[in-house]
Structures are given as structure tokens and as C-alpha cells.
Amino acid sequence: MTNLIMKIWFANLPLRHVLKLAILENLVSIDDFWNYKKIDYIKLGINLIEADEIEKTKDKNNFREMCEYLVNEKIEFILYNETDYPEALKNIYYPPVGIFIKGKLPNFNNSIAVIGARKASDYGKTAAYKLTYELASHGIVVVSGMARGIDSCSHRGSIDGNGVTVAVMGSGFKNIYPKENADLVEEIVKKGCIITEYMPDMMPLASNFPARNRIISGLARFLLVIEAGEKSGSLITVGCALEQGKDVFAVPGNIFSYVSCGTNKLIQDGAKPITCVQDILEEFNFDYEKKTINTLDEYENAILNLLKIGGMKIDEILENSSLNSESILTTLSKLECRGLIKRVYGNYYMLY
């Protein structure tokens, strides 16, 4: 616990980001740094005002409650200079001083980041699910941002393909966003992990997500974009990937759909068009063998059988089945990602 408190204390210090990284790169131990006097801080390039502020923060009780939460939730905190810190992140612009991790960090040698529109079309969701399902079944790690739409379908496809997936959040662990993905978080950490650079109490502020995108692209070998509008936030991630020297792929979209303007433009500008999973696997130099989507579970079959009668709202499904509301929401999300059902308006669902 003491070591964790010291690391959290250091990460929260009111110092310039670049200076914190420099201190860690110079292999200054956190314990020694805590015990330094003002003159020692100044020798490291810290000005007198900053040295005074550091002295004011030296109360371990300030971070004890947060650290107890992290221990209870089995969340690790890894600093930039620790051996478990992903090597790929050290090479990006403005690498995090530390990252919070729940689950197990995978090997990112064979990995792909998959991103796209939150308000994705049925076509986009199905493409995300089926591509990531087959990628996962071939051992490719899928990295995404756990947002609604393409991100969620990508994580779901990877899980159903018995693969490993990594979600990078733009908030702290006490504020899972979106809230409906709380169950997805638990499934992700069984084989993969959730990552964030933000302290547990951090809310999902809009300004956090562009910064988060550099981590998504930084962790993966390649970036795949599935549906992105002309001014989509996904294009920020594309910019990060290009700066990091990563190859970008894009799924061609409907030329009349606003959520495909960005992806189609990427292809015009040189992104590799993806029309099947083989287009991606060949970049990993993998042999391709056709995989089929795994069989439906009892919950999925139950809802599909209900929808064969006709379209229904969530409360109608609840009334006509033995499933609870939590199971219904999770199952509807899975079926929608697979392209077996669609939400036509509001909470009204019908067979695709």
C-alpha cells in the first residue's frame, strides 16, 4: 500500500508533465524523491515555487482512501519507468506519467485499434462485430475506446471470438462511460484489460477523449476505422496514428451516409480499403481460414424467438420473457452488433 500511495502522490504533483517524465527517466526512486529537500528538487530543474508546492503535498493520508479503493477493485497503477509499462506508449507524443489497469496487459505485437462512429449504422455495427470476431479468433488483440457504437461492437466481437480486447477510457474507474457498458467492462477484464490515465474520480469530460485517442492508436500496430463522419473524433485518432507511423485501414461505406464521409475520404487519401478480414490478416502475415460466428446462447435465442412474432419495446420483451432487464439490455446489444436485430426508433427492436 505504501508504494502505491507514493506513486499516486508523484503522479498528482503540480509539476510539468515533461519534468515528471524526465525525473522518472533519470531513475529517481519515488521514496528518495519524497525525502528530498528543497535544494535537491532545485537541482533536478524544479523551480522554488514548485519545490514549495511539493512540500505542501507530503501527507500520505491524502491518498490513502484512493489507494484502498484501487486495492479493493484490483486496479494497478504503473508508472512510466516501471517494467510493466507498455513499451509502445513510451514512443508516443506526451506519454502518460502512469496508467491505471484493471485486468491483464496483453502482448501488443499482434494488435489492431478499431474505432468509429458512436451513432453507427446497422452496417457499421455488423462490420465491426464480424471483423473483430474473426480477428480475435486468429489471436489479434483488439484495442478500442469502449464508446457506444463501433467501439462497443468491436469489444463484443472480440469477446465472442474468444479473444483478448483492451479498452482505453476517457474517465476514471469510478465513472465508467457509457454507464450501460458496466457489464462489458467485467467481460473485458476476464482476458484483457481496461486502461485509463485518469484518476478514479475523473468524470468523462469531453476534453479527455482526444487525449485518450493517442493511447488507443499508440498501443496497436495498425488502426482500422469503421464509419466516421467528416468531422468525427475518430479522425483525431487517425492523426495520432499517422504521427506514430502506423498504417491506417478503413471500411468503405455508403456514399450517401454522413457517417461514411470520413472513412471514404481516408481511402481516397491512401488508407487501405478493408472488404474482408483477409485484407487485415495479410498485413499480419497470417494464413486465413474462414471462421463462423459462434452459436447463439439461450438468452439470444429467447429474444429472437420473441421478435419473430413482431417488433417489441424493451418493456414488452421484459413482460413476455423470464429475463431480467440487465440480461435483456446486454443480449440486445450483442444481437444488434451481430446484425441479427435492429433498433428502428427509441427502444423498439425488430429482426433485421
State the DSSP string of 83-115. Answer: TTS-GGGGGSSS--SEEEEEE-----SSEEEEE
Residue boundaries of the structural domains of the chain: 2-72, 111-284, 298-351
Q: Which residue spans within 169-282 are E strands per DSSP?
A: 193-196, 222-226, 247-250, 272-273
Distance CA 43, CA 29 (A): 15
State the pLDDT at residue 345. 66
Mind listing the pLDDT tens digit for each residue in 127-140?
999 999 999 989 99
State the pLDDT at residue 290. 46
Q: What CATH number should be reported for the domain whose range is 298-351? A: 1.10.10.10
C-alpha cell recorded at residue 100: 491505471
State the pLDDT at residue 352. 66
Please state whether the predicted TM-score (pTM) of the whole model is above 0.85: no
SS3 label, residue 142 = strand
Contacts 24+ apart (CB under 8 A), 326-332: 326/183, 327/299, 328/303, 329/180, 330/183, 330/299, 331/299, 331/300, 331/303, 332/303
**Which residues of the chain carry a pLDDT beneath 70?**
1, 286-294, 345-346, 352
At residue 242's C-alpha, the angle toward residues 21 and 264, to 5°, is 145
Closest CA relative to residue 255, chosen from 237, 267, 270: 267
C-alpha cell recorded at residue 352: 433485421
Contact 105, 84 (CB under 8 A): yes
Mind listing the pLDDT tens digit for each residue in 75-126?
999 999 999 999 999 989 999 999 999 999 999 999 999 999 999 998 999 9
Q: What CATH number should be reported for the domain whose range is 111-284? A: 3.40.50.450
